[in-house]
Amino acid sequence: MKPHAGDDAPARALLLTAAPEDPDSTRSAPEPAYAISTHGLVKSYPGPDGTAVHAVRGLDLDVSQGETFAFLGPNGAGKSTTIAMLCALARPTAGRAVVAGTDVVARPDRVRRNVGMLFQHSALDPDLTAEQNLYIHARLYGMGRRHARRRVGETLEAVALTDRRRSPVRTLSGGMRRRLEIARGLLHEPRILFLDEPTTGLDPHARAQVWDHLRTLRERHGTTLFVTTHYLEEAENCDRLAIIDAGRLVAQGTPFALRAAIGDDRVVLRTGDDTRARQVVHQTAPPDTALTLDADGLCLRVPDGSAWIPRLCAALEAHGIPVRAASATPPTLDDVFFHHTGRSITTARPPQPETGKDA
Amino acid sequence: MTAPEPAPAPAPAPEHRDAGTSAPPAPPDAPATPDAAAPPDTPGREPTRLRRELRAVHALVHRDLLRLSSQPTHTALMLLQPVLYLFILGGGLAALIPTSTLGVGYQTYLFPGMLMMTVQTPAIMVGIRLITDRQSGYLRELLMAPVSRTTLLLGSCAGGTTVAAVQGAVLLAMAGAVGLPYDPLLLALLMGGMILASFTITALSLALAVSLQRAEVFHMLLGVVMMPLLFLSGGFFPLDSLPGWARSLAAVNPIAYGVDLLRRSITLRLPDRATAAGIEWFGSRPPLALEAAALLAAGALALLWAAHRFKRPD
């Protein structure tokens, strides 16, 4: 019944990552409590004319065990690159990342044994059946034949694809393929599952199904989920999230804390006489409340806006001013994104999607 | 109801608290190595490193064989071309070319070349598939596996060689139709030669594929190179009737080595069917074993180079 640990510490949630490499960054013992821990992670690619393209510029992340962590940012922000580094697919240019207790540079094979990965673009062998795809993957992960067969059966069941196990992958729908990919990611029972835009291109129904499976997975096995997304509503449902923009972490914390940290609910009142109402509200509301009067009506920003509405209405009624409409809107994650980057996540979409930087 | 919460000190480390409840870490009994806490793959035993790598190689060979069996039409079509050459081109030309010029009937003469043709198509496909796998993202999935990149390349090579050998074996079964006896040793020799040649062509194809980004470039290159390679292989006509420069080109043509190897294997078992000379080094024929060794070395070098290129992480 307790609120989440981070909820009561909104200030802590804000992490401004301007901090460059500090000398005491070489912590020797990795924190076992963290599933993922990075420090000053940097990735640059050689760009045109000898310049360097900085995809990720100094990332400090801590993801706890069993947590569902969202990595929110517009396309091209460096999400996929970060995931590639955390899975030991790409080598960091600088900095350090410890995943599942193992340094990604020192022991990439051990990291990969402990993590599962769901890439942004579906990559199954379309000519083979669902079962064959999984079996080959299980064998790639070094499982014996019997163990591989058992896990294939279990994971197919977990994603409710047992009845389609003999269908060639090219005959499966997009949502089924995604689920099959989740099954593939789970074959070796990873402790951490990375999901790069797991629901992009799926219809709402398939999207909900994918999330159902992920939730079950987390409840049953305590798997840590690291999800990149540019869907705000998906990030909203995660335990914690980090916002990344142009390769930098701009904020991290619980959705609640992040929203709380940027401020108060927006309360809008429409009354019979807004000018007089303004004076009444001014007396009723906390002393330094920002009050604006515009076409929408009387607008103020207060913490816990919905609790203020009845009080404001009562005061206005007492002065004989009729209240026609009242609303309280909590800040959205888009507001949070806007607050930290100066633009909206939905408009910040460059034409070129971030794909194919690696492998 | 505030009393009975047993947690003694969650306060000083608020960040770690939820982690402690959801996933019990094992600091007391596993003080030093974090891996000790890793959930075991199979209860009790962890496969050795070598075993894991071998399983990965096997997985890739298995994939290729599954693909082969899931596309019977495709496989049949790939076999169709050499069969057509053998029986239509071979049958037609056999009437024109007297046995005395080649030592054997033209169809028998053509047979080693057609075996090579059968083998070379699936072998080359391995390189194309490496590129398409990279484009589709499947390669990234493979790279996620906890095995070395070299193992993955070896697996691809083994898969290509196996598929090529299987298809070659199908054509080899038609040996009787071109007048060759079903002699076990002869068949084994031919099979061995085909496997060796498949390996080398697969390795060369992979070496090419690791440095190319686009499948189109690969196709274009093949289109330009394949025809001269086939004509300079000695599969269709004896090389000694060619001008000197063409013969020197043939001496660096891996397909010519493959054809020569198969042809000489036949001669080895059936000395009465000695055919015209194939590969020559400085005017004389190298020993059979040396020829085979050269082919093997070329394949091994190509594979090493490909592995070197492929190993480089991003």
Please tell me the predicted confidence (pLDDT) of residue B274: 65
The answer to which of A13-17, A69-73, A198-202, A232-236 has the lowest mean pLDDT is A13-17
Neighbouring residues of B262: CB distance < 8 A, sequence distance ≥ 6: B112, B115, B116, B190, B193, B194, B197
What's residue A11's pLDDT? 40
Residues of chain A contacting residue B146, judged by C-beta atoms under 8 Å apart: 109-110, 112-113, 141-142
Quote the Cα angle for A252-A255-A259, to 5°. Answer: 95
Measured between CA atoms, the residue of chain B closest to residue A146 is B42
Could you give the dihedral angle defined by the CA atoms of residues B300, B305, B309 and B312, in that order, rounded to the nearest 10 degrees? 80
Residue numbers of the domain that contains A98: 10-260
Beta partners for A4? Answer: none
Name residue, tokens 């050459």. B85
pLDDT for residue A200:
81
Q: Residue B117 has which token pair?
A: 């043709």
- pLDDT of A179 > 80? The answer is yes
Taking alpha carbons only, the member of B300, B295, B242 closest to residue B264 is B295
Nearest to A65 among B22, B56, B142 (CB): B22
Domain identity same for A305 and A247: no
* Residues A78 and A218 occupy one common structural domain: yes
The answer to whether residue A347 is domain-embedded is: no
Q: Domain boundary residue among A214, A236, A260?
A: A260
User: Where are the strands (E) in chain B, listed by range?
Assistant: none
Instruction: Determine the distance in angstroms separating the CA of B39 from the nearest CA of chain A, rounded to an integer.
Output: 8
What local confidence, expressed as pLDDT, does residue B204 receive?
Answer: 94
- Going by their DSSP bridges, the two strands A297-302 and A248-253 should be labelled as unpaired
Q: Report pLDDT for A17.
A: 37
**Residue A51 covered by a domain:** yes
CB A167 within 8 A of CB A130: yes
Please name the amino acid found at residue A67.
E
Residue at B45 is within a domain = no
Alpha-helical (H) ranges within A87-173 are 108-114, 130-140, 145-158
Q: What is the ipTM of this complex?
A: 0.78
Q: Residue range A230-239: average pLDDT?
A: 84
| Beta-carbon separation of B146 and A110 below 8 A | yes
User: How does pLDDT run across B153-170, given as a tens digit for each residue?
Assistant: 999 999 999 999 999 999
Are A296 and A207 members of one domain? no
- Identify the residue with better confidence: A122 or B224: B224
- Summarize the confidence of residues B12-17 as an average pLDDT: 39
Residue keyed to tokens 């196996």:
B162
Residue A295 belongs to some domain of the structure? yes
pLDDT at A357: 40
Picking from A216, A238, A260, the residue at the C-terminal end of a domain is A260
Average pLDDT over residues B79-95: 88
Q: Is A319 within 8 Å of A280 (Cβ atoms)? A: yes
Percentage with pLDDT > 90 across chain A? 22
Number of structural domains (chain B) is 1
More confident residue, B44 or A173: A173
Tally of structural domains, chain A: 2
Please tell me whether residues A157 and A306 are part of one structural domain.
Answer: no
Whether A355 is in a domain gets the answer: no
Verify that A136 and A185 share a domain, yes or no.
Answer: yes
Q: Is residue A200 part of a domain?
A: yes
Count the Cβ atoms, other than its own, within 10 Å of residue A212: 11
In a domain, residue A348? The reply is: no
pLDDT digits (tens, 9 = 90+) for B182-230: 999 999 999 999 999 999 999 999 999 998 888 888 989 888 988 888 8
Q: pLDDT per residue over A253-293, tens digit each?
A: 898 888 877 777 878 888 888 888 888 888 888 777 777 78
Do A271 and A132 lie in one domain? The reply is no
Residue B314's pLDDT band (cuts 50, 70, 90):
low
Q: Do A62 and B55 touch (CB under 8 A)?
A: no
Range of the domain at B185: 51-311
Query: The domain that contains A93 carries what CATH number?
Result: 3.40.50.300
Q: Contacts by B101-109 with C-beta closer than 8 Å and gap 24+? A: B102/B238, B102/B275, B102/B276, B103/B273, B103/B274, B103/B275, B103/B276, B104/B179, B104/B273, B104/B275, B105/B178, B105/B179, B107/B177, B107/B178, B107/B179, B108/B178, B108/B179, B108/B180, B108/B273, B109/B275
In this structure, are A216 and A256 located in the same domain? yes
Evaluate whether A61 touches B284 at the Cβ level (below 8 Å).
no
Nearest-Cα distance to chain A for B151, in Å, is 10
State the CATH number of the domain containing residue A299: 3.30.70
